[in-house]
Structure 1
Amino acid sequence: MEKELILKYVLQNAINYNGKANPGAIIGKVLQEKPNLKPKIKEISKEINKIVQDINKLNIEEQRTQLLSLDPKLLEKKEVKKKELPELNIKNLVMRFEPSPSGALHIGHAYVLGLIHLVCKKNNGKLIVRIGDTNPGNIVKEAYDLIKEDANWLTNNSIDSFPIQSERLEIYYKYAKKVLELGKAYICTCDPEDARSKINSGKACPCRNLEAKEQLERWKLMFSKYKPGDAVLRIKTDIEHKNPAMRDWPAFRISEKEHVKTKNKFRVWPLMNFAVTIDDHEMKVNVTIRAKEHRDNEKRQKYLYDYFKWESPKCLYVGRINFSDMKVSASLAKRMIKEKRRTDWDDIRLPFLPALRKRGYQPNALLKFAEEIGLSEADKVTNKKEFFKSINSFNRDLVDETSDRYFLILEPYKKLEIKNAPKKNIQLDLYPGVRLGGRKFYTESEFYFEEKFKKDQVYRLMHLYNIKNREFLSEEQDERLSAKMIHWLPTKNAIEIEVLQENNKITKGLAEESIKKVKKGDIIQAERFAFLKCLDNNKFIYLHK
């Protein structure tokens, strides 16, 4: 029966991978169907290796014929409609992602940046991450470095450059002067409320029709005489446009708030639509992917492209991912960090990339998530549980085969003696069927357990033997015993460890002596508990089940 079970999964794996089965991929399938085989894992692994050798000698048609007779359902493939990334057919493709340094990148950014990276990679393009820091009042100093670090991590160091807008102000000023000279912009010094009222009514303010010479004089005064709120540079559009948002949109304002990089050197700042248009042109950006709420911004920016006789980029859009029970907000996270309710941007409770990276999530798990959603304008509503269920599944596929297995006991645990327990020397695999051996145990009669034992219940000490009422019962696994599988540690040579849990609380515990080999940054699987990442000597952080 066991041989037939192994055989069908070896055949399925071989058929799915061009006729060559991978022993490491079979054991999980077998144990998933028959968890009670775990104590016989050594024998199972040997049998898998033997069967794999035989099956890999067959051609795919012979493998299909065998599987058809064993379990035809395993030949059925669930049809998954793959969302293809677009073929852009654009020579010298340049794309960009423009975050504000108001905090670290979060999971929403990961979707958009991940998608841009994948599209760019598929089309052999260049990707720029441009830091939009022209709002001096909403900047977190450490965000500059965090954005660079996380963008490089997510894209496997595929970012071409990281231009910073506050270092490009003179360029924006040059184009502001040009658009004023063209008569396509004006400096409005009206009371802000009056100006807003006129624009909403589709009426021009007196400033709009002043000559270019007067506009250029007013432009100079924005750098000296005018105070914040006294003057705004507006781009001339259709003052009677049916969409009020299109009418004479603001392009520059005065702000005397100190900037973290330029300090008080500048007081005239471009607004997003002006800076983005100039940068996209100067950096030769020819395709953009943005959230669909930026459609109006694309239309605003088109006025500048037309005035300067530039070719505008091709714009693609995506919908929003809305979380019903999780706030993904840089301003909220910043406040919580300031109030000491979170430790920093890598606090395990935050949905930000420094936290996910610290925990051991792999960039390809987030890229897989972005690819699964694809280039879709449909808004998505999900919750924290469903989102992480998806991400965890992708991440588990990535880390499973490289994660060594270890026994770990968390508080509250207890020391118990097993009567008539035989002394045993055993060796377990770091990864069943792949990395054999490496975990040595010497057991006597005393053990550490997490389990609360019930009277007359039979327990199977994983990879060891059966006990009942804290007394040795038998060595071989016997399905008739209906034994409950539990893990354990011998009391000698147990290593004290700490695990930082999802709630940011530290749980202390013990681990097998072999765990001393684990290095900082390694991901392990604590058997029957979870995947963990090593933060330091014998200190771990919870990743996922």
Structure 2
Amino acid sequence: MVAKKIENNVFIFAVENAFLHKGKASEGAVLGKALSSDPSLKDDIVKLRTHISKAVKDANKLSIDEMETLLRKENPDFFEKKEIAERELPELPGAEMGKVVTRLAPEPNGYLHIGHAVSFFFNHYYAKKYSGKLILRFEDTNPEKESTEYYDAIKEDLAWLGIKYDKIKRNSDDIELFYKHAESLIDSGNAYVCRCPVEKSRKLRYDGEECLCRKNSSKENLELFREMKKTLKQGSATLRLKLDMKSKNTTLRDPTIMRIVEAAHPLQGTKYRVWPLYDFANAIEDAKCGVTHVLRSNEFQQRDELQNNIRELLGMDSPHIISYSRINLEGTPTSKREIQKLIDSGKVSGWDDPRLATLQALRRRGIVPETLERLAKEVRMTSGSTTISMDALNTINRKILSPTAKHYFFVPSPEKIEVKSKGTFYIPKEDAKSMKKGEIFRLKDLFNVKFIGKGEVEFDSDKVKSNTKKLQWVSSDSIETEILVPETGKTIKGLSQKEVGKLKVGEIIQFERVGFAIIESTGKPIKCILSHE
């Protein structure tokens, strides 16, 4: 009768574990739960493992619905969870249900980082909150900086984040539209072609002085603009907006809105040679896409007035613009230029180096998308400086991982010990060195042993004794495992329990007394990256 009860309990533990892990229970996790619920089961651990192996196989055969039905009958308390109140973002000004349109507007010139993720979650949140639309729009009008690899990388990162968009488009598909609006501004006398050398033009703008090109007639400007598209060389002419050369907002001092670029575009090739600058393309596309709310970091705040001016001159509506401080991760750059320097100098291995703040790096490190979403709600759209510490990010990630992460033992620098009548085990070398003859210690969740000397110990008792040192251990069927610590670049070598060998690349687990880690590669040895404690 007792044996039957034990067998049933083990099966319930296996079903619970399978339900939490997409239908796949772990023998190691079930063993830990069983021993924790009844330490006396250690008396016949071989038989217990046999029960667990059968229970896990039986549990894994059930569908998720069957698991839930069984657990609600046998252990309804399993589904009782404390509600965690999450902060929500404030209401959007001027927002109407069903009419809000936000956009994600990355430039495909590098990999996304933590600041992009937070910004994207803001836009995704509000589109969803107001039953609106979210547009993914590639701002790809700078042929010299963009590459096809980044289009795909950005879409992959968005898929990982779980952000779904309603429409995808590229600014580079609208070059003819930009030409049309440029010619409209020339016709109305609001734009002119400038032939001044770059340095001269820059100095005149700084001094707030006009150049002679400003006096060209609309007809002359239109002819020059058409020459820009055909024969003029790169750097010999630009199209500038005619605004206010005395404005305190320097972006309004006749900014360049189109220039000649002879480099091939990654998608359009050499079809076009005159390209719009950011403000011109952005202003037109936001209006064309029907964007109602622009949510972006305040590094663009000075340009808001310019973009609104462009839309006003073209008879277009302007969206609500909400600015917030740029999001940075403490101790690591988010600037593409700075990261590229680190890569080129060999200080980091690449864009996915786990010490960086790129999404590829955070993903490789074991930071989950839910952490970044919750981070967005925590930092909110504030105008104050926002620098996130790695500790703060880890704290959120830990809270999300803790309820479901599988637990395993890991022994660094393992030292072999023979327990008379019980078998071979491995414990950390540092612990083995500190042992004194006759000292009693406990193999965690197993039993107490007494140190005899020279790697030999003898069984002492099952009962937990106060003030007894508890040690991590693995048995003789353990597997070689390496854990990379991103902060130091060092690798911890050791042994983990055999169940770790059945895990898949990308699974995040918790090594007891070490921390959370993500499986980087399988095989011999198993390689992991430490996410955090």
Is this a same-fold pair by TM over 0.5? yes
Residue pair 1:107, 1:352 contacting (<8 A) in 2 also: yes
Judged with a 3 Å threshold, the aligned counterparts in structure 2 of structure 1 residues 505 and 159 are, in CA distance, closer, same or farther, namely farther
> What residue identity is the alignment partner of 2:415?
K
Residue pair 1:416, 1:449 contacting (<8 A) in 2 also: no
The structure 2 residue matched to 1:84, chosen from 74, 80, 89, is: 89
The structure 2 residue matched to 1:248, chosen from 254, 258, 272, is: 254
Judged with a 3 Å threshold, the aligned counterparts in structure 2 of structure 1 residues 407 and 209 are, in CA distance, closer, same or farther, namely same
> What residue identity is the alignment partner of 2:461?
S
Partner residue of 2:128?
121
Partner residue of 1:429?
none
Partner residue of 1:415?
416
Partner residue of 1:109?
116
Structure 2 residue 448 is the aligned partner of structure 1 residue 469: no
Judged with a 3 Å threshold, the aligned counterparts in structure 2 of structure 1 residues 542 and 242 are, in CA distance, closer, same or farther, namely closer
Residue pair 1:202, 1:239 contacting (<8 A) in 2 also: yes
Structure 2 residue 346 is the aligned partner of structure 1 residue 351: no
Query: What displacement does 1:469 show?
Result: 2.9
Distance 2:77 2:181 in 1: 69
Residue pair 2:509, 2:516 contacting (<8 A) in 1 also: yes
Residue pair 2:406, 2:509 contacting (<8 A) in 1 also: yes
Partner residue of 1:67?
none
Structure 2 residue 527 is the aligned partner of structure 1 residue 539: yes
Distance 1:467 1:328 in 2: 52
Distance 2:135 2:190 in 1: 29
Residue pair 1:448, 1:490 contacting (<8 A) in 2 also: no
Distance 2:205 2:499 in 1: 72
Residue pair 2:194, 2:240 contacting (<8 A) in 1 also: yes
Judged with a 3 Å threshold, the aligned counterparts in structure 2 of structure 1 residues 369 and 55 are, in CA distance, closer, same or farther, namely closer
Partner residue of 2:160?
153
Percentage of identical aligned residues: 32
Residue pair 2:99, 2:130 contacting (<8 A) in 1 also: no
Query: What displacement does 1:280 show?
Result: 0.7
Query: What displacement does 1:251 show?
Result: 0.3
**2:166 match: secondary structure:** strand
Judged with a 3 Å threshold, the aligned counterparts in structure 2 of structure 1 residues 320 and 447 are, in CA distance, closer, same or farther, namely closer
Deviations 1:106-154 (A, max 9, x none): 1121221122222222222212222222222323442221111112322
Bigger mean CA deviation after superposition, 279-288 or 127-136: 127-136
Aligned length: 459
Deviations 1:8-55 (A, max 9, x none): xxxxxxxxxxxxxxxx99xxxxxxxxxxx99973249x9xx9xx9899
**2:295 match: secondary structure:** strand
**1:215 match: secondary structure:** helix
Structure 2 residue 435 is the aligned partner of structure 1 residue 447: no
Partner residue of 2:479?
495
Superposition pairs for residues 37-436 of structure 1, below 5 Å?
41-43=36-38, 82=87, 84-88=89-93, 89-90=95-96, 91-154=98-161, 156-323=162-329, 325-338=331-344, 340-382=346-388, 387-410=389-412, 412-418=413-419, 421-423=420-422
Residue pair 1:129, 1:162 contacting (<8 A) in 2 also: yes
Distance 1:321 1:157 in 2: 19
Query: What displacement does 1:279 show?
Result: 0.8
Deviations 1:463-492 (A, max 9, x none): 11223434333321121xx1122111122x
Distance 1:365 1:324 in 2: 16
Distance 2:445 2:115 in 1: 43
Q: TM-score, normalised by structure 1?
A: 0.76
Query: What displacement does 1:462 show?
Result: 0.2
Residue pair 1:246, 1:296 contacting (<8 A) in 2 also: no
> What residue identity is the alignment partner of 1:477?
V
**1:130 match: secondary structure:** strand
Q: TM-score, normalised by structure 2?
A: 0.78
Deviations 1:41-89 (A, max 9, x none): 3249x9xx9xx98999x9xxxxxxxxxxxxxxxx9x99x9945332453
**Alignment gaps of 5+ in structure 1:** 1-23, 26-36, 59-74, 424-443
Distance 1:524 1:198 in 2: 60
> What residue identity is the alignment partner of 2:230?
S
**1:142 match: secondary structure:** helix
The structure 2 residue matched to 1:516, chosen from 491, 495, 501, is: 501
Distance 1:152 1:519 in 2: 20
Distance 2:110 2:481 in 1: 33
